[in-house]
Structure 1
Amino acid sequence: MYIAALLARTEDGWEASDTELDDVETLSDLADLAREASDDDTVIVYIEQEDTWFGIVRIDGEDDPRIYVSDAAAAARSSYGEILTREILGDDLDAELDELDALDLDGTEDGEPLHDGTDEDDDDSADAAAGAVPAAPAGDGQVLADLGLSERELRALDSDALSVIAEAVGAADVLEAVR
């Protein structure tokens, strides 16, 4: 389950809204959705998947989106997170995801036995593929620094990150009204 929220800065202050991501298939779709909320000012799109990872996409007018994800490996395994990590990690992610897709859940390739009779596990290929996408924050850690949330504070967030972010940028009251 995903949580998605838009925080849009307007001349009257911040506006918050829940948003549906059903029609979002690319970063361009997400940027267009954000720009509909506020053409010229800052819009922050917050996406979270069940306290596993969260992502922030910041749109400032027509500038390119700035992106941050709390856990690139977890995000890369989800549909919306893959959009964000693909943008951060680039074309290298395609090869890494293809390698992960070729593995069964137990870390072996389709039809391959769990053990080959040696003392070594067949998990080496799964470990290598999983290690290709860092299980760590990725992207622009300074994405909210000018709005009151430093990179250090952003990297320390885990559960209830949306509330902390909204508080830091001064949008907690409007977010609470939407919730």
Structure 2
Amino acid sequence: MGEALMTYFAARLTRSNDRWRAEEVGLDDCESLSDLGDVLRDSTGEVRLLVIEQDDEYAAIVRLDSDEDDPRAFLSDGHAADAYPMAAIVAEDLAEIGEDELEDDEDAPPAHDSAPFGDPDVVEDLGTSAADLLAMCAHPGTLPVDVLVAICEKAGCGEAFEDLRG
């Protein structure tokens, strides 16, 4: 038996002149947050987002504001970084949001907390506040893709995102 294929959905969303464009992208060659930023550098637009969802376990948002900037990112669930290589790439350079209760426990296993990681303000100017984003991630029964759909709807690219997802 071979290794199970990890499937993820990744879309690049770009806005130019108030028009959104959505396209599915492959991330197999990405090994760092910087590499994910390069996927966005390959596109143009005033707003450039990369959204990732995998197995209903996590949602990730990567944003590039200008080619000279480092990408900003948000990961909905830190536990996903322990099981999913793509989530680990996103979480690698990010700080956990909230208190880390395991910080002083030397016997704790090396694992990520379930708290979100990264920049919760990543889509604030697109209609989803940090508080709303964190609340959606913490809400029981809300799937990661539901979080992405809600963000896209508020940003004005919900239809393009839904069309892409089919």
Alignment TM-score, normalising by the size of structure 2: 0.77
The aligned counterpart of 1:154 is 133
Once the two structures are TM-superposed, the CA of residue 53 in structure 1 deviates from its matched residue by 1.1
Q: Can you list the C-alpha shifts for 1:123-177, whole angstroms capped at 9, x where unaligned?
A: x95xx115x5221111111111111001121113331222111101100122223
Once the two structures are TM-superposed, the CA of residue 48 in structure 1 deviates from its matched residue by 1.2
> Are residues 1:55 and 2:35 paired?
no
The aligned counterpart of 1:138 is 117
Once the two structures are TM-superposed, the CA of residue 80 in structure 1 deviates from its matched residue by 0.9
CA contact (8 A) 1:25 1:83 kept: yes
Q: Which amino acid aligns with 1:167?
A: E
Q: Any stretches of 5+ residues in structure 2 without a counterpart?
A: 1-6, 97-105, 137-141
* Higher alpha-carbon deviation: 53-62 or 132-141: 132-141
Q: Which amino acid aligns with 1:164?
A: A
Once the two structures are TM-superposed, the CA of residue 89 in structure 1 deviates from its matched residue by 3.9
Q: Can you list the C-alpha shifts for 1:70-91, whole angstroms capped at 9, x where unaligned?
A: 111222431111111111049x
- Give the whole-Å Cα distance in 2 for the aligned partners of 1:161 and 1:75: 18
Q: Which amino acid aligns with 1:53?
A: Y
The aligned counterpart of 2:109 is 129
SS at match of 2:114: coil
Q: Any stretches of 5+ residues in structure 1 without a counterpart?
A: 91-123
The aligned counterpart of 2:93 is 87
Q: Which is helix-richer, 1 or 2?
A: 1
> Are residues 1:35 and 2:41 paired?
yes
- Give the whole-Å Cα distance in 2 for the aligned partners of 1:176 and 1:54: 15
CA contact (8 A) 2:81 2:112 kept: no
Seen in structure 2, the aligned counterparts of structure 1 residues 8 and 76 have a Cα distance that, compared at 3 Å, is farther
- Give the whole-Å Cα distance in 2 for the aligned partners of 1:14 and 1:54: 20
> Are residues 1:18 and 2:4 paired?
no
CA contact (8 A) 1:72 1:85 kept: yes
Query: Among 165, 168, 173, which residue is 2:159 paired with?
Result: 173
- How many aligned residue pairs are there? 142
Alignment TM-score, normalising by the size of structure 1: 0.72
The aligned counterpart of 2:100 is none
SS at match of 1:4: strand
Q: Which has the larger radius of gyration?
A: 1
Q: Can you list the C-alpha shifts for 1:40-82, whole angstroms capped at 9, x where unaligned?
A: 5221111111111111111111221111111112224311111
The aligned counterpart of 1:103 is none
SS at match of 1:87: coil
Q: Which amino acid aligns with 1:129?
A: P
- Give the whole-Å Cα distance in 2 for the aligned partners of 1:17 and 1:76: 28
Q: Percent sequence identity over matched residues?
A: 39
- Give the whole-Å Cα distance in 1 for the aligned partners of 2:10 and 2:32: 15
CA contact (8 A) 2:61 2:75 kept: yes
- Give the whole-Å Cα distance in 2 for the aligned partners of 1:85 and 1:175: 24
